[in-house]
Amino acid sequence: MKGYVQPGISVTLPAPYPVSSGSGLQVGALFGIALHDAVQGEDTETLMTGVVDLTKVPMKIVLTPDVNFRRIEAVAQTLGEVRVRTALSRAVNHTGRKALTAVRRALVAQTSIPRPVVVAGVTPRSASAETLSYAIVASGRRLPLKLFRPKQTVSGVTARVWGGAQDYPSAFIVPSLGSHVFRRVGRPRLPITKLYGPSLADELVKDQSRAAFERIVQDLEPRVMHEMKRLLP
């Protein structure tokens, strides 16, 4: 499994969307790491406890059509399964695109990561009539502090991270090393270590980003009705 570090406890869960080995997997309130590739609906062994290096593993939030089908049953019976799935995929993609915009905007405010970096690093996986799920995926690497407008001060470095100015005592900017921010590991002059800010993967599933996603998800059911009515004769 990608990112494996130490063993832990695993359980079998149905994949709510296509997953790959080492990727995050969420079923209801349960979150774990898939131990092998699986298609949507397939049982997959999921690591619930243990140690996994997630710095290189993408995280995702997924929109699926969990709607009140009693409200749409009459329309669904008229359209038939093929046209219903077409309507559902359109509704999921429409709502997913709105969620993507809202999540990206929230991440900029939440993390102070520059918008071009957020747009490039938070990408969609659109729904089809077969999968009926829209995923918003973020890369997992922590971003260098260089991206957060660092400024050298007498006592160290300040940078704008998580929506405000953060102090990094004893840190320093090295122009000859790409103007990255470093700190000495010990008392000697060397070695030094590069400093990092947040990662998009960590931030995607919490705080303002998660709230923005959950707010937009409420638009899915009325959009389903809209798309289904468009297909009525």
Give the domain ranges of the chain.
1-54, 143-197
- Per-residue CA distances from 1 to 47, 48, 51, 143 (Å): 10, 14, 12, 24
More confident residue, 16 or 110: 110
Share of the chain above pLDDT 70, in %: 74
In one letter, which amino acid is 88?
A: L
Asked whether the predicted pLDDT for residue 221 surpasses 80, the reply is yes
> How does pLDDT run across 50-105, given as a tens digit for each residue?
444 444 456 687 766 655 555 566 666 666 777 778 888 888 899 999 999 999 99
- Report pLDDT for 156: 96
pLDDT tens, 129-151? 887 788 898 877 889 999 999 99
Q: What is the mean pLDDT of residues 35-48?
A: 72
Q: What is the largest CA-CA distance in the chain?
A: 78
Question: pLDDT value at position 187?
Answer: 79
**Amino acid occupying residue 149:** R
Window from 38-52, 95-109, 196-210 with minimum mean pLDDT: 38-52
pLDDT averaged over the chain? 80
Instruction: Check if the beta carbon of residue 137 is closer than 8 Å to that of residue 60.
Output: yes
